[in-house]
């Protein structure tokens, strides 16, 4: 027997430990993969339209409908074969046809009411060349979507003079070290104040930590900012990140400063 060969233990009837471990790892990996496939069901990539609404089972039908429309216009149009213009608009009739395939036979007046009632002004509905079109004002992850955004050239271009990002305590641990990331979206989002102060969009109401940005410093460093139609401050950052060097102040939602950071400025009482 050559030095490269490995013999099995005599009389044991079992494999060597390295070979058995390799087989076990392969079996466990295959079981996990099969389990994941059963749990996930057929993949929706490749242009296959989903027949299910987004959201949780406990959500109301209205909430699930809104989440589905938001997902389609921000993330899922390509996979669902929903034709979209480069500026993010899709034909209302195409959207309603897609929703019909999910068991939601919404009419135009119902869609108008949904857009009008949305407290964060997520959508824009307009008539163009004889057709009605709808888009999400921000929050896209589809790189092909190029919104017509208002450039922010100085702090004066932000009506409140404030750009604040809301996050959770858990997420803050990583953000404090690495900065804010746009992750899978096209932009990092900032509100012009905290929820309840006349600010309509840009931050989840469940946010626990508020990160106030030093906009002039970031602009001087070459970071670009824009305003969406619903007043959200957007930035691609630098290589998808805005480093902690550009954080002005950090506090929790009760106004208590986060250790190691300055006390945050007083948020505006309203967004003008």
Q: What is the pLDDT of residue 246?
A: 96
Q: Which two tokens stand for residue 126?
A: 């307009």
Domain boundary among 106, 136, 166: 136
Q: Which two tokens stand for residue 78?
A: 């390509």
Evaluate whether residue 3 is within a structural domain: no
Evaluate whether residue 27 is within a structural domain: no
Identify how many contiguous H helices and E strands the chain contains and give both numbers. 6, 12
Could you tell me which of 23, 142, 119, 124 has the C-alpha nearest to residue 72? 142
In DSSP notation, 86-125 reads TTS-EEHHHHHHHHHTTT----HHHHHHHHHH-TT--EEE
Q: What is the pLDDT of residue 238?
A: 95
Domain boundary among 104, 136, 168: 136
Asked if residue 65 lies in contact with residue 106, where contact means CB atoms within 8 angstroms, the answer is yes
Domain CATH for 229: 3.20.170.30
Distance CA 33, CA 49 (A): 23
Low-confidence ranges of the chain (pLDDT < 50): 1-46, 263-272
Per-residue pLDDT reduced to its tens digit, 135-164? 888 777 777 667 778 899 999 999 999 999
Asked if residue 268 lies in contact with residue 161, where contact means CB atoms within 8 angstroms, the answer is yes
Which of 181-185's residues contact partners 24+ apart within 8 Å by CB, and which partners?
A: 181/237, 181/240, 181/241, 182/235, 182/236, 182/237, 182/240, 182/241, 183/240, 184/141, 185/139, 185/140, 185/141
Per-residue pLDDT reduced to its tens digit, 237-253? 999 999 999 999 999 98
User: 168 with 131, same domain?
Assistant: no
Angle 99-101-102 from CA coordinates, rounded to 5°:
65
Q: What is the pLDDT of residue 35?
A: 39
Angle 165-183-197 from CA coordinates, rounded to 5°:
20
Q: What is the pLDDT of residue 51?
A: 58
Per-residue pLDDT reduced to its tens digit, 228-238? 887 889 999 99
Q: What is the pLDDT of residue 49?
A: 64
Evaluate whether residue 81 is within a structural domain: yes
Domain of 246 in residue numbering reads as: 150-252
């Amino acid at each position: 027997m050559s030095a490269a060969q490995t013999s099995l233990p005599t009389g044991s009837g079992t494999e060597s430990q390295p070979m058995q471990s390799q087989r076990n790892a392969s079996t466990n990996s295959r079981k996990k993969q099969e389990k994941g496939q059963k749990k996930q069901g057929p993949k929706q990539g490749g242009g296959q339209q989903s027949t299910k609404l987004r959201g949780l089972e406990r959500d109301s039908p209205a909430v699930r409908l809104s989440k589905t429309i938001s997902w389609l216009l921000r993330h899922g149009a390509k996979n669902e074969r929903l034709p979209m213009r480069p500026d993010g608009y899709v034909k209302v009739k195409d959207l309603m046809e897609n929703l019909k395939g999910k068991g939601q036979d919404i009419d135009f007046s119902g869609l108008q009411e949904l857009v009008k009632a949305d407290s964060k002004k997520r959508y824009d509905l307009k008539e163009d060349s004889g057709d009605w079109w709808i888009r999400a004002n921000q929050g896209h992850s589809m790189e092909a979507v190029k919104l017509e955004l208002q450039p922010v050239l100085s702090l004066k271009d932000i009506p409140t003079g404030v750009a604040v990002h809301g996050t959770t305590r858990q997420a803050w641990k990583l953000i404090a070290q690495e900065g804010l990331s746009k992750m899978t979206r096209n932009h990092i989002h900032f509100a012009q104040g905290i929820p309840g102060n006349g600010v309509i969009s840009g931050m989840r109401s469940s946010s626990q930590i508020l990160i106030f940005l030093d906009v002039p410093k970031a602009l001087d460093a070459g970071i670009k900012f824009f305003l969406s139609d619903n007043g959200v401050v957007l930035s691609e950052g630098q290589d998808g990140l805005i480093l902690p060097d550009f954080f002005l102040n950090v506090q929790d939602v009760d106004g208590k400063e986060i250790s190691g950071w300055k006390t945050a400025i007083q948020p505006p009482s309203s967004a003008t």
